[in-house]
């Protein structure tokens, strides 16, 4: 019997985005979060006495600012080397974007698969063969699995691959492949990377995205970590998600329907924050609060948005390690005012149009064509984790509501 760890998308020294602008932000925790989560991974490997560790791409976050990132990684690999733990890895799209990475001499307990062709690494003492191929460039659109070797039936075969599989919303379609293609290789476990949300694709054979080890912004909420796999007599007998993150991102939605004052709503929010702290097992929280639903407080929330925003930050501050990434107000009035317009009134027609107003990211770019020109000049890494010119659905929804609220209030002034 043996165990191994499967992790991916470490993104060493990647900054956490969305908190830096606030004076009360946990700057030290933000700066060191990825390293501390990786320290937790190394310690877990030592505590569990695993046979080996698999890293499925994006160890780094593009080019380093200096060599300290690489030196840090080598020092942690040294701890595993002393314990006799092997590390087998492939590079992903972010690793391939780094020039310094290619010059780094790895410790002898670390094996990095070539980007030129698929290869195999044999661990004879465990009867394990690990197969993999690194990215040769930042964008790999070929199906790498096609060239992976067939599994040896006498061994426990593992595939190590950085891929989008058959596509995942929000992720570039790198190294696309199908589940049938993975199954055809005869491996017992596929250790995937690239998708930052944990997902068990299949159990026969096991095909797993472990997710990243530390959320970096509000689109990476919830527990983050790695996968601990137990193997006995050539079969996977246990697959466990293990948490490694040191600061957790939370999307907290609040229905204000039961609150009749802003103070009671603040108290309700405080109670919800306390519940989230319990779920996070004491980890610091970065929270986006979304107030949505029908409420008599709708007007007060919008009229006093700035003041209430600061009150919520104060509530978070009294709880200790809770920071507000953003407060979003998406409330609605109990009865939308229609004014004293006749059915044929142009203002009634305009009011109806505003209420049903919709637009998407393409219409935003069309409104200001210069945005697209500016966007095309920005570095790829700046846009890879959130394009300001192509907002996601949550951001579009907020923008729609803000536009509607502004126009409705203006139209209401004619009544």
Least confident residue range of 18-27, 168-177, 281-290: 18-27
pLDDT of residue 62: 67
Residue 374: predicted pLDDT: 61
pLDDT higher than threshold 70 for residue 294: yes
Could you write out the DSSP letters of every residue in 373-397? HHHTTS-HHHHTT--TTS--HHHHH
Segment 169-224, tens digit of pLDDT: 778 888 899 999 999 999 999 999 999 999 999 999 999 999 999 998 899 999 99
State the pLDDT at residue 255.
93
**SS3 state at 315:** helix
User: Average pLDDT for residues 390-410, to the nearest whole number?
Assistant: 59
Q: Could you read off the pLDDT of 318-375 as tens digits, one per residue?
A: 988 898 988 998 888 766 554 555 566 665 666 566 555 555 555 555 555 555 566 5
Q: Which long-range contacts (CB under 8 A, 24 or more apart) does 296-299 make?
A: 296/260, 296/334, 297/256, 297/259, 297/260, 297/261, 297/262, 297/265, 297/331, 298/331, 298/332, 298/333, 298/334, 299/333
Structure tokens at 232: 């006995």
Residue 391 has a pLDDT of 59
Residue pair 95/58 in contact (Cβ under 8 Å)? The answer is: yes
Q: What is the per-residue pLDDT for 359?
A: 54
407 vs 267, higher pLDDT = 267
Sheet holding 285-294, edge to edge: 248-254, 285-294, 322-332
User: Is the per-residue pLDDT at 411 higher than 70?
Assistant: no
**Stretch 7-27: mean pLDDT, rounded?**
76
DSSP designation for 116: S
Residue 116 scores a pLDDT above 80: yes
Among the listed residues 69, 114, 62, 68, the one whose alpha carbon sits nearest the alpha carbon of residue 90:
114
Planar angle of CA 129, 54, 102, nearest 5 degrees: 100
pLDDT tens by residue, 243-252: 999 999 999 9
Beta strand residue intervals within 218-321, DSSP E:
225-232, 235-243, 248-254, 285-294
The answer to whether the beta carbons of residues 276 and 285 sit under 8 Å apart is yes
Q: Which among 209, 271, 279, 227 is positioned nearest to 248, based on CA atoms? A: 279
Question: Phi and psi at residue 371, in whole multiples of 5°?
Answer: -60, -45
**Whole-number percent of the chain with pLDDT over 90:** 51
3-state secondary structure 53-112: EEEECCCCCCCCCCCHHHHHHHHHHHHHHHCCCEEEEECCHHHHCCCHHHHCCCCCCEEE
Token pair for 237? 């007998």
pLDDT tens for residues 226-268? 999 999 999 999 999 999 999 999 999 999 988 989 999 999 9
Is 106 within 8 Å of 77 (Cβ atoms)? yes
| Rounded alpha-carbon distances, angstroms, from residue 192 to 35, 45, 137, 177, 227 | 21, 19, 18, 12, 11
Task: Supply the DSSP symbol for 199.
Answer: E
User: Over the stretch 127-138, which tens digit does the pLDDT of each residue have?
Assistant: 999 999 998 877
Q: Residue 415 — pLDDT band, cuts 50, 70, 90?
A: very low
Q: What is the pLDDT of residue 413?
A: 47
pLDDT of amino acid 136: 81
pLDDT per residue as tens digits for the range 57-115: 888 876 666 678 888 999 999 999 999 999 999 988 777 655 555 567 889 999 999 98
């Amino acid at each position: 019997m043996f165990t191994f760890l499967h992790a991916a998308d470490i993104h060493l020294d990647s900054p956490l985005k969305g908190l830096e602008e606030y004076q009360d932000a946990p700057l030290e925790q933000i700066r060191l979060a990825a390293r501390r989560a990786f320290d937790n991974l190394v310690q877990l490997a030592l505590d569990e006495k695993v046979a080996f560790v698999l890293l499925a791409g994006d160890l780094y976050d593009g080019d380093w600012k200096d060599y300290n990132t690489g030196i840090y990684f080598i020092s942690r690999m040294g701890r595993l080397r002393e314990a006799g733990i092997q590390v087998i890895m492939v590079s992903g799209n972010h690793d391939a974007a780094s020039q310094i990475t290619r010059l780094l001499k790895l410790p002898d307990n670390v094996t990095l698969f070539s980007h030129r062709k698929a290869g195999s690494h044999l661990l004879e003492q465990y009867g394990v063969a690990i197969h993999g191929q690194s990215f040769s460039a930042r964008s790999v659109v070929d199906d790498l699995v096609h060239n992976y070797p067939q599994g040896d039936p006498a061994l426990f075969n593992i595939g190590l691959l950085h891929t989008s599989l058959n596509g995942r919303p929000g992720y570039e379609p790198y190294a696309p492949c199908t589940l049938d293609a993975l199954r055809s290789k005869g491996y017992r476990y596929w250790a995937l990377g690239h998708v930052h949300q944990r997902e068990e694709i299949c159990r026969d054979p096991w095909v797993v995205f472990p997710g990243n080890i530390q959320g970096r912004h509000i689109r990476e909420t919830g527990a983050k970590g790695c996968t601990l796999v137990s193997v006995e007599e050539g079969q996977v007998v246990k697959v466990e998600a293990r948490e490694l993150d040191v600061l957790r991102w939370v999307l907290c939605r609040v229905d204000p329907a039961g609150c009749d004052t802003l103070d009671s709503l603040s108290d309700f929010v405080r109670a919800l924050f306390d519940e989230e702290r319990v779920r996070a097992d004491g980890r610091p929280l970065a929270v986006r609060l979304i107030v949505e639903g029908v409420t008599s407080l709708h007007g007060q929330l919008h009229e006093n948005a700035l003041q209430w925003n600061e009150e919520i930050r104060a509530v978070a501050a009294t709880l200790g390690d809770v920071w507000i990434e953003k407060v979003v107000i998406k409330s609605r009035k109990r009865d939308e005012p229609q004014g004293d317009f006749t059915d044929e009134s142009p203002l009634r027609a305009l009011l109806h149009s505003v209420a049903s107003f919709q637009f998407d990211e393409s219409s935003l770019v069309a409104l200001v064509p210069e945005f697209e020109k500016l966007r095309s000049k920005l570095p790829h890494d700046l846009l890879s984790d959130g394009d300001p010119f192509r907002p996601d659905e949550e951001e579009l929804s907020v923008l729609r509501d803000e536009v509607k609220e502004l126009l409705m209030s203006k139209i209401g002034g004619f009544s």
